[in-house]
């Protein structure tokens, strides 16, 4: 039994319109589902990804307009890296700078090159070009995307987590979740899920002495890992519970099914099924255009729509 890599990363944003403008208008991801936080239906849950929001391409947000900024620190996922083709480094450097984004790099990262920047609320992002980042299936292309297909983001490449020390998180990753330590350089331990490669990477950054972070605006809320189906998810649930880790029952998120638990360092993890996916309740062409509620929230649509701020998809300039 192997986790297939990152399913999605969920972070907290401020203003939802600013969030859409940045991730759709600038980074060229597609808004594939406009919904609400199922645990707090008066706030949005916005899902970005490739044309269909395939598992492995998704970054999702809970926008908390006017919310307090988070505190970066240990026990947190502190950066989200996206895969881009090697030929895209110059394009993205120009595109980000032209749009007023301050960037560092390209910096060398193992055998890859990364451009480092942050989103409007301080979430650390990276665009990474490596040997295999351009080989990922080009699902990203969607009609009207603002980024030319040849440079488009291919999906989530890696997450970085900060911990006080390598263990117990490192041991939990390898002994319970089946990760393997793949590389180590400059205070960065790279673990890979399953067969590894772009999209299946977790970089652990040991930071002894650094304070614990607090999850709020501009920080990662949780990291979800891929499992093919509910049967395997149930086996993961048992395996993790056997280690004495507190874990939720299987929760139906409608577009996938989820279980949640904390790794020993405190980062919230999820294991999510690959299906059924975002086209289960909308046509491919219609994704992201209107507010979609899971069936059990549909009776409350009027009250929910009344409290959500309007969000418009940006007009694109190539």
Least distance to Zn ion from the beta carbon of 95, Å? Answer: 28
**Residue in the structure block whose two tokens are 């993961």:** 236
- Listing DSSP states for 62-119 in one string gives EE-TTPPBPB--BSEEEEEEEE--GGGHHHHHHHHHHTT---EEEEEETTEEEEEEE-
Q: CA–CA separation, 157 vs 130, rounded Å?
A: 10
Q: What is the 3-state secondary structure (H, E, C) of 231-290?
A: HHHHHHHHHHHHCCCCECCCEECCCEEEEEEECCCCCEEEEEEEEECHHHCCCHHHCCCC
**Phi and psi at residue 241, in whole multiples of 5°?**
-60, -35
CB of 62 to Zn ion, least distance (A): 10
| Token pair recorded at residue 270 | 């999820």
Rank residues 10 and 198 by Cβ distance to Zn ion and give the closer one.
10
Give the nearer residue to Zn ion in terms of CB position, either 168 or 275: 275
Cβ 8 to Zn ion shortest distance, Å: 6
Report d(CA 286, CA 115) in Å as an integer: 32
CB of 81 to Zn ion, least distance (A): 18
Nearest to Zn ion of 10, 133 (CB atom): 10
How far is Cα 210 from Cα 290, in angstroms, rounded to an integer?
42
Taking the least distance from each CB to Zn ion, the nearer of 163 and 270 is: 270
**Rounded least distance, CB 267 to Zn ion, Å:** 13
Shorter beta-carbon distance to Zn ion: residue 187 or 275: 275
In DSSP terms, 16 is beta-bridged to none
Nearest approach in angstroms of CB 3 to Zn ion is 14
Query: What does residue 205 show for φ and ψ, rounded to 5 degrees?
Result: -110, 105
Minimum CB distance to Zn ion, residue 58 (Å)? 9
263 vs 270 by CB, closer to Zn ion = 270
Smallest Cα–Cα separation from 119: which of 91, 139, 138, 99? 99
Beta bridge partners of 66: none
Task: Give the residue with the Cβ less far from Zn ion, 109 or 157.
Answer: 157
> Site residues (CB under 5 A) for Zn ion?
10, 224, 270
The least CB distance from residue 317 to Zn ion, in Å, is 32
What is d(CA 79, CA 116) in angstroms, rounded to the nearest whole number? 9
Closer Cβ to Zn ion, 47 or 191, answer by number: 47
Task: Kindly state the helix (H) or strand (E) to which residue 307 belongs, with its residue range.
Answer: helix 301-307
């Amino acid at each position: 039994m192997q986790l297939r890599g990152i399913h999605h990363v969920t972070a907290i944003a401020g203003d939802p319109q600013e969030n859409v403008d940045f991730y759709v208008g600038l980074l060229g991801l597609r808004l594939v589902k406009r919904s609400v936080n199922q645990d707090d239906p008066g706030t949005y849950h916005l899902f970005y990804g490739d044309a269909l929001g395939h598992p492995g391409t998704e970054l999702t947000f809970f926008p908390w307009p006017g919310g307090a900024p988070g505190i970066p620190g240990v026990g947190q996922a502190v950066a989200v890296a996206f895969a881009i083709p090697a030929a895209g480094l110059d394009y993205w450097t120009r595109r980000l700078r032209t749009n007023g984004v301050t960037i560092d790099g390209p910096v060398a990262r193992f055998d890859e090159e990364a451009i480092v920047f942050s989103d409007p609320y301080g979430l650390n992002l990276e665009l990474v070009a490596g040997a295999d980042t351009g080989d990922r299936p080009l699902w990203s292309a969607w009609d009207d995307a603002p980024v030319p297909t040849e440079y488009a983001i291919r999906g989530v490449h890696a997450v970085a987590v900060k911990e006080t020390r390598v263990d117990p998180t490192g041991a939990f990753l390898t002994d319970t979740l089946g990760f393997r330590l793949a590389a180590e350089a400059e205070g960065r331990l790279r673990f890979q899920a399953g067969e590894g490669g772009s999209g299946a990477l977790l970089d652990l950054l040991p930071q002894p002495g650094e304070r614990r972070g607090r999850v709020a605006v501009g920080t990662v809320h949780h990291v979800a890992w891929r499992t093919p189906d509910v049967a395997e998810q149930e086996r993961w649930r048992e395996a993790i519970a056997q280690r004495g880790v507190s874990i939720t029952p299987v929760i139906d998120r409608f577009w996938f099914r989820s279980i949640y638990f904390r790794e020993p360092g405190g980062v919230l993890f999820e294991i999510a099924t690959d299906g059924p996916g975002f086209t289960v309740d909308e046509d491919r062409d219609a994704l992201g255009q209107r507010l979609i509620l899971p069936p059990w929230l549909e009776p409350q649509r009027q009250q929910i729509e009344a409290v959500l701020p309007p969000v418009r998809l940006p007009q694109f300039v190539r």
